[in-house]
Structure 1
Amino acid sequence: MHPLTKVMLLVALLLFLQACGTTVHPGERGVRGNLFTDGVTTEPLKSGFYWRAPWSRIDVYNVQWRRYTETVEALSSDGLPVTIKTVILTRPTPDEVSILAKNVGSDFYPRAVKPTLLSTVRSAVSSYPMITVMEHSPEIASQVEAVVAEKLRGRHLQVASVTIVELALIKSEPDVVEGARAKELSEFKFIAVGKNARSLPVLP
């Protein structure tokens, strides 16, 4: 056999063997599954190199803590819009990655974390008048963190913290008070005009 042919065969063999193996790095977990079924193994694979059959696969999950930033549009208890920028520190539960892969999938953040975070922030903000949201932002963040952590624990995800890093109110407190007074005055004028209108004679 020609030496060049041997080299080419050796390279092809190495590429084939490499394609049949997956490296799981530190800070990751692997989940072994079957290409033809949805079945996965229950024991996560820790860091190392793993051989796999051509009909199987190994999905790798990052289990290190990662930060995600979300901007949430919420309504206060008095129906005024508040924009809140939050940062959540979360990760998959390392020993439960196989269950996460089966029940949620690798897109766990958009499917589980994000909607839970957004709905919880909106619910928490709706308990406070707009002019007190800024004052109670640490309390709101603590409430959100506790609720989100509890909900995601059942979905095999961990939450280290939820922080409010930016908060924008649509109006300042004096503007809100003036707006409320203006609304009351407008309603009073409307009622007064309505009463006066009933007493005016109808012109021919």
Structure 2
Amino acid sequence: MDKLPKIGIPLLIIIIAVIVLIAKSAVTINSGEGGVLYKQFSGGVDIDNTYGEGFHVVAPWNSMIKYEVRDQTVQEKLDELLSVDGLPIEVDLTIQYKPNKSNLGRLHQTVGLDYYSRKVRPAISSVARSIIGQYTAEELYSSKKNSIQKEIEAQTKKDLQIVYIDLIQVLVEKIELPAKITAAIEDKKTKEQELEKYKYLLQTAEKEAERQRVEAEGKATANKILSASLTDKILQEKGIEATLKLSESENSKVIVIGSGESGMPLILGNQ
């Protein structure tokens, strides 16, 4: 009877040790995660393998570091930028990124879990500062937003690829200039629009004047041709035709008495 407790205590210790060992060895990588294995006594970070979702058993002296490998989105406001003409510029960005899943081990070894603050944000800030500095305030305000967005995205992708981070896209949400500069640009644009409207109205008036001049010249030419073609004989024939038509009218009482100086009949009547 005295031996049973002595045997039971070591057994209980062994059972507890096995449970703890299994608990420390069992690792579950959840959906949307990837794992990096750190080997305490055999080389440190396993840079060649990325562990996928599911249940994994590792030695209790090793550890599994989990990374989220889904697309991640962060909004940033950069307020230390200058245009090429030295004006302060603020830019609101939306950044989508994720770690390169096949290189999680290398990312962990060279950068670590805080890779966004250590690599992504500094890269975006540096590239944005360089590109913004190539444009004037007016260009930034008006027509260069899409161009700037593409340039920032393309250059930052290259910079982050070499540190095992995938940049999905960069969206320039807003480019903000000092209020006085914005007002001056708006005023300039308004005046330019008014000038363009004035030019349009002037061109329209000039075209209408030219049209009327051509039309008047055409009428004058036609009258000259018509006058040259109307001989006395033709005029007499036309007069006779008109007289005959009047004589046929039911509402006209026509009396022909003699002739006028031109040889045409004189017409009297109540109409």
TM range (shorter): 0.7 to 0.9
- Which residue number in structure 2 is paired with residue 27 of structure 1? 32
Once the two structures are overlaid, the 10-residue window that deviates more, 33-42 or 16-25, is 33-42
- Which residue number in structure 1 is paired with residue 84 of structure 2? 77
Alpha-carbon displacement from aligned partner over 1:50-85 (angstroms, at most 9, x marks no partner): 112221101011111100111112100010001111
Q: Please show how residues 8-27 of structure 1 align to structure 2 within 5 Å.
A: 14=19, 16-27=21-32
Amino-acid identity (%):
24
**3-state SS of 1:82 partner:** strand
- Which residue number in structure 1 is paired with residue 95 of structure 2? 88
List alignment gaps of at least 5 residues for structure 1: 179-204
Alpha-carbon displacement from aligned partner over 1:131-178 (angstroms, at most 9, x marks no partner): 221321111111000000011111111111100112221133444799
The structure with the largest helix share of the pair is 2
- CA displacement at 1:16 relative to structure 2: 4.5
Once the two structures are overlaid, the 10-residue window that deviates more, 145-154 or 23-32, is 23-32
Q: Distance in 2 between matches of 1:37 and 1:165?
A: 48
- CA displacement at 1:20 relative to structure 2: 2.3
Q: Distance in 2 between matches of 1:175 and 1:134?
A: 11
List alignment gaps of at least 5 residues for structure 2: 188-271
Larger Rg: 2
Equivalent residues, number: 176
**3-state SS of 2:55 partner:** strand
Amino acid at match of 2:37: R
Residue 148 of structure 2 is aligned with which of 140, 143, 146?
140
TM-score, normalisation: structure 1: 0.76
TM-score, normalisation: structure 2: 0.58
Q: Distance in 1 between matches of 2:12 and 2:136?
A: 74
- CA displacement at 1:106 relative to structure 2: 1.2
Q: Please show how residues 1-204 of structure 1 align to structure 2 within 5 Å.
A: 14=19, 16-35=21-40, 39-41=44-46, 42-73=48-79, 74-135=81-142, 136-171=144-179, 172-175=181-184
Q: Distance in 1 between matches of 2:42 and 2:178?
A: 51
Distance 1:165 1:36, change over 3 A: farther
- Quote the RMSD (CA, aligned, Å): 2.6
